[in-house]
Amino acid sequence: MSVTFWCPDAPRKQVPCQFCQGEYVDFPEGNGRGGKCDRFCTGFTEESEAPEVNVANGNAVGILSLLGFQVDACGYMYGSCTAALMRQRLFRARNLDRSALERGMEIQEGGHAGVRVVDGEDGLPTIQRMGPTFIVGGNTDEQTLGRLARLEQLALYAQERGYEITWG
């Protein structure tokens, strides 16, 4: 899951479908798809001319709170604002303490799926937790500043053209 910041009113351009031009290009004509990735595909798709910024949910919560935007009680992250307001908040966010957003990569050993007894290296039996290992990605201040810089590019583009910025 992720949150995308974009300008919904920005003009769109037609580009070749990445699936038809990519791995599905060898579909035979007689497959019911007419050589396309899908029988409803025209071979083209529309893409915004404005920059877009895509952020993973875990990082989006931090970015939105740093910018002073609310995440609703259910965890949904959506909203919109003027480009001028976004630029003001970005300026403020670059000058705030961002240390709360920093976290290192964290590896949580398996568990919650029971235990088993195994022979230890010293010959003594040990209890081992079972279950998948979870790896929680890290976030550095440089990464946060990079995301803010990309949002600044989007806000500048939107402000020059009179567009709003939406996220969700």
Residue type, 10: A
- The answer to whether residues 118 and 125 touch, using CB atoms and an 8 Å cutoff, is yes
- The answer to whether residues 154 and 165 touch, using CB atoms and an 8 Å cutoff, is yes
What is the rounded distance in angstroms from the CA atom of residue 73 to the CA atom of residue 85?
23
What is the rounded distance in angstroms from the CA atom of residue 86 to the CA atom of residue 158?
10
Residues near 121 by Cβ (< 8 Å), separated by ≥ 6? none
What's the confidence (pLDDT) of residue 136?
Answer: 64
Between 34 and 14, name the one with better pLDDT: 14
Confidence of residue 29 (pLDDT cuts 50, 70, 90): low
Question: What would the pLDDT profile of 49-67 be if each residue is shown by its tens digit?
Answer: 999 999 988 788 889 989 9
DSSP 8-36: TTS-EEEEE-HHHHTTTTT--GGGTTTTS
What's the confidence (pLDDT) of residue 156?
Answer: 97
What is the rounded distance in angstroms from the CA atom of residue 54 to the CA atom of residue 77?
13
Cβ count near 163 (within 10 Å): 20
Domain edges within the chain: 2-103+140-167, 105-137
Cα 147 to the center of its chain, rounded Å: 11
Q: Which of 42, 39, 40, 71 is nearest to 55 (CA)?
A: 71
